[in-house]
């Protein structure tokens, strides 16, 4: 988190992320396409700076292959464990430790 206000781009990312239903996930790439951005990585960077978490549920955004992806700027360790717990608590199903079941994908 930072003490600066979100950019207009970041706010578009956060607004879309708010629409992802509990128990479902979207992908960085799907959000990029939905808001007219060409970079899934830019979506990840915006979510890494999410000042509204957990109200803006950035934990519901995963990699295109439905792998858990990153969280809070981390790709492994306790933050990824926390993301997994948050998703499980919301009813997201996993096929293994990091792979999310395809039926949990929400494409908006």
- Tell me, what DSSP letter sits at residue 62? E
CA distance 17 to 52: 11
58 assigned to active site:
yes
Catalytic-labelled residue, pool 25, 40, 46, 58: 58
Tokens for 34? 């939905």
Tell me how far apart the alpha carbons of residues 8 and 37 are, in angstroms, rounded to a whole number: 13
What positions carry a catalytic annotation?
Answer: 58
């Amino acid at each position: 988190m930072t003490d600066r206000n979100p950019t207009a781009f970041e706010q578009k990312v956060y607004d879309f992320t708010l629409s992802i239903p509990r128990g479902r996930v979207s992908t960085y790439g799907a959000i990029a396409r939905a808001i007219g951005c060409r970079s899934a990585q830019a979506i990840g960077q915006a979510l890494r700076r999410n000042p509204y978490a957990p109200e803006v549920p950035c934990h519901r955004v995963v990699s295109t292959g439905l792998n858990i992806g990153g969280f809070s700027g981390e790709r492994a360790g306790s933050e990824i464990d926390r993301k997994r717990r948050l998703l499980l608590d919301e009813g997201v199903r996993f096929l293994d430790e990091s792979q999310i079941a395809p039926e949990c994908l929400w494409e908006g």
